[in-house]
Amino acid sequence: MVSAFFAIGPGLGAPSSIVLWITCAVMIAAAIIFSIMTRSASPESRHFYYASAFIVLWAATLYFVLASGYGYVTQPGGHVFLFGRYIDWVVTTPLLLLDMAFVALPKGFPGRNALIATLLGADVYMILTGFAAAFIRTGFRWAFFGMSCAGFLVILYIIVTKLTPEAARRSPDVKKLYTQISPLLMGLWICYPIIWVLSPSGWGVFNAFVATLLFAVLDVLAKVGYGFVLLKQPATLNQAETQTVEATGASRVATQY
Ligand code: RET
């Protein structure tokens, strides 16, 4: 019974499976803690808490699927393709970016919706083309890898040239929070394509177990670590939601869009 539950599917070794189960447990624990932390949130800023709890809950679900032997296929040639990863990322990465955009851009900021839509669109494009790159086993996959990197560059461009300057106009506390989450997000996210290239999906410098371990560590830092930094500052999140656009002087730059 227990062994049926802790099934290790063909292709995925026991060490990888253990890493996936542990990560699943960490995500569940984070979902519970984030839900409890909601109690310190004001009604205006509660969505940050719900989003963070949902992000780790969704990740826990996908880690559960992967660990129990269903979220991957063994392709001809023996390559194990963990497609479940991309089902996790396509849902969670837009929400992580949305949190950051809400901290950077005050409500009513001109062009806010269009900017956020572009940011999230580029992100979904990055993940879906990344999925294609990982699925395709011929050299053709590098074309999709390039497309995915282009999506990623758009994200970084919007963060650096739009979100960061706007965040600098916000109240000292909100500005400080942004300077904590933004480098954290960019620093961690940049590691993903690097690990991908070195993993069996790319050049195969290291094996599937090392890739599973490194992606698990990154996923925990990018979701749980990032979530904690954000949610442990309820007063600042409330300010981020209630500060008016006039207070930031943002309307002066409206014509830039
Ligand atoms: C891939 C491979 C193709 C090129 C690029 C990638 C970028 C992936 C990123 C993923 C971020 C995931 C996060 C998960 C959450 O916890 C798809 C690896 C550019 C940036 C933050």
Q: Where are the domains of the chain?
A: 2-248
**Would you say the CB of residue 226 lies under 6 angstroms from ligand 1?**
no
pTM over 0.95: no
The verdict on the CB of residue 222 being under 6 Å from ligand 1 is yes
DSSP letter, residue 205: S
Number of DSSP helices (H) and strands (E) in the chain, helices first: 12, 2
126 lines ligand 1 (CB under 6 A): yes
CATH 1.20.1070.10 fits 2-248, yes or no: yes
Q: Closest residue (by CA) to atom 3 of ligand 1? A: 130
| Contacting residues for 38 by C-beta, under 8 A, at least 6 apart | 46, 49, 50, 53
pLDDT digits (tens, 9 = 90+) for 153-212: 999 999 999 999 999 999 999 999 999 999 999 999 999 999 999 999 999 999 999 999
Report pLDDT for 4: 45
Tell me the β-bridge partners of 80.
74
The tens digit of pLDDT for each residue in 5-50 reads 444 555 688 899 999 999 999 999 999 999 999 999 999 999 999 9
Compute the distance between CA of residue 253 and CA of residue 255 in angstroms, rounded to an integer. 5
